Structure 1
Amino acid sequence: MTPQRLPTYYISHGGGPWPYMDDDMRQRFDQLEASLLSIRNEWGEAARAVLIVSGHWETTEFCVSSAAHPGMVFDYYGFPEHLYHIKYDAPGSPELAMRTRAMLQAGGVACESDAERGFDHGTFSLMKPLCPSGELPIVQLSIKQDLDSQAHLSVGRLLAPLRDEGVVIIGSGSSFHNLGLRGPAAIEPSRQFDDWLQQTLLATSTAERRRRVAAWKLAPNARIAHPREDHLIPLMVALGAADEEAAALVYNQADFFGSWTLSSFRFGEPVPVGAQAA
Structure 2
Amino acid sequence: MATQPVFFLSHGGGPWPWLDGPFREGFALLEASLRALPAMLPEPPKAVLVISGHWEEPGFAVSSAPRPGMVYDYFGFPEHTYHISYPAPGSPEVAARVVELGMAAGIPIGVDPTRGFDHGTFSMLQPIYPDAQVPVVSLAMRADYDVDAHLALGRALAPLRDEGVVVVGSGFTFHNLRLFNPEGRRPSAAFDGWLRHVLTEVSPEEREQQLQAWESAPCAREAHAREDHLIPLMVAVGAAGADPGTCIYAQDDLRGGITASSYRFSQDTTPSVHDLLRKAHHAL
| TM-score category (smaller protein) | over 0.9
SS in 2 for 1:251: strand
Q: In structure 2, what is the Cα distance between the partners aligned to 1:243 and 1:96?
A: 20
* Structure with more contact order per residue of length (Cα contacts < 8 Å, sep ≥ 6): 1
Match of 2:177?
Answer: 179
- CA drift of 1:37 comes to 1.2
Letter of the 1:129 counterpart: P
Q: CA contact under 8 A between 2:4 and 2:42: conserved in structure 1?
A: no
Q: In structure 2, what is the Cα distance between the partners aligned to 1:72 and 1:151?
A: 28
Residue correspondences, number: 271
- CA drift of 1:9 comes to 0.4
Q: CA contact under 8 A between 1:4 and 1:46: conserved in structure 2?
A: no
Residue 166 in structure 1 maps to residue 164 in structure 2: yes
Match of 2:87?
Answer: 89
- CA drift of 1:186 comes to 1.0
Match of 1:276?
Answer: none
Structure with the largest fraction of helix: 2
Q: In structure 1, what is the Cα distance between the partners aligned to 2:166 and 2:95?
A: 14
Deviation per CA, 1:79-114: give whole Å up to 9, x if none: 000000000010000000011011111211111000
SS in 1 for 2:179: coil
SS in 2 for 1:9: strand
Q: In structure 2, what is the Cα distance between the partners aligned to 1:44 and 1:204?
A: 25
Match of 2:59?
Answer: 61
Q: CA contact under 8 A between 2:38 and 2:44: conserved in structure 1?
A: no
The alignment's TM-score, normalised by the length of structure 1, stands at: 0.95
Q: CA contact under 8 A between 2:2 and 2:43: conserved in structure 1?
A: no
Q: CA contact under 8 A between 1:255 and 1:261: conserved in structure 2?
A: yes
Residue 125 in structure 1 maps to residue 123 in structure 2: yes
Deviation per CA, 1:229-274: give whole Å up to 9, x if none: 000000000110012111000000101111210010011145857x
Q: In structure 2, what is the Cα distance between the partners aligned to 1:24 and 1:151?
A: 39
Residue 206 in structure 1 maps to residue 209 in structure 2: no
Q: In structure 1, what is the Cα distance between the partners aligned to 2:135 and 2:148?
A: 28
Runs of 4+ in 1 over 4 A off after TM superposition: 270-273
SS in 1 for 2:51: strand
Q: In structure 2, what is the Cα distance between the partners aligned to 1:149 and 1:17?
A: 28
Q: In structure 1, what is the Cα distance between the partners aligned to 2:240 and 2:24?
A: 33
Q: In structure 2, what is the Cα distance between the partners aligned to 1:223 and 1:140?
A: 27
Match of 1:152?
Answer: 150
SS in 2 for 1:238: helix
Q: In structure 1, what is the Cα distance between the partners aligned to 2:66 and 2:28?
A: 32
Identity of aligned residues (%): 51
RMSD across aligned positions (CA): 1.2
Q: Which runs of 5+ in 2 are unaligned?
A: 272-284
SS in 2 for 1:252: strand
Q: CA contact under 8 A between 1:253 and 1:262: conserved in structure 2?
A: yes
Q: In structure 2, what is the Cα distance between the partners aligned to 1:203 and 1:45?
A: 27
Q: In structure 2, what is the Cα distance between the partners aligned to 1:254 and 1:245?
A: 26
Q: Which runs of 5+ in 1 are unaligned?
A: 274-278
Distance 1:122 1:33, change over 3 A: same
Matches within 5 A, 1:207-226: 207-226=205-224
Of the three residues 240, 243, 248, the one matched with 1:245 is 243
Q: In structure 2, what is the Cα distance between the partners aligned to 1:89 and 1:140?
A: 14
